[in-house]
Amino acid sequence: MALQIGQQAPDFTLFNTEKKEISLSDQKGQNLLLLFFPLAFTSVCTAELCSVRDNLKIYEGLNAKPFGISVDSLHTLKKFKEEQALNFELLSDFNKEVSKAYDALYDTFGYGMKGVSKRAAFVIDESGIIRYAEVLENASLQPNFEAIREALSALKV
């Protein structure tokens, strides 16, 4: 069942590219932008995450910390982060548990790949409540970053 605005965000613990555990519950007190993406090094994923990189000051100004989440391995995500000079955390959901909890997992993706993260965006407030949720069925589309920034701006009031 799809997560709804106003619901408590499912907690999780994933490893970042430096092999450090990152838990959602440890992020309380700041707004979060969770960006699920299908696969590192693909064109739309690269464009999406580079857009966040290039606009990080905007998100910081909105008291928001972005995280990129995919089912790629830690090693793949580390290389991707380095090559694209990404300035925010990438988390590996290799076991697909978090993507599933957020209803952001394809049963079957291109080329018969099973269990790939859907492109999705969630804004989570300082208390862990979902304030924006967008799960895209079409992986060639990007999240609505204008709507994401509006949701984050509303949290600053």
pLDDT for 156: 78
Q: What is the pLDDT of residues 26-51, one digit of tens each?
A: 998 999 999 999 999 999 999 999 99
Work out the pLDDT band at 16, boundaries 50, 70, 90: very high
Dmax over Cα atoms in the chain, in whole Å?
A: 45
Whole-number pLDDT of residue 39: 95
> Is the pLDDT assigned to residue 155 strictly greater than 80?
yes
Residues paired with residue 91 on neighbouring β-strands, in sequence order: 16, 69
pLDDT in tens, 60-117: 999 999 999 999 999 999 999 999 999 999 999 999 999 999 999 998 887 788 899 9
Could you give the domains of the chain?
Answer: 31-155 (3.40.30.10)
Residue with the larger pLDDT of the pair 114 and 5: 5
Rounded to 10 degrees, the C-alpha dihedral 75/78/82/88 comes to: 170
Cα–Cα distances (Å) from 145 to 17, 20, 59, 99, 153, in that order, read 24, 28, 11, 20, 12
- Known catalytic residues are 45
CA dist., res. 118 & res. 5, Å (int)? 18
Closest CA to 42 of 110, 115, 125, 130: 110
- Copy the structure tokens of residue 105: 């997992």
Single-letter amino acid, residue 130? I
Mean pLDDT of all residues in 115-136: 96
pLDDT at 15: 98
Q: In this predicted structure, what is the pLDDT of residue 1?
A: 63
Residue with structure tokens 């709804």?
4
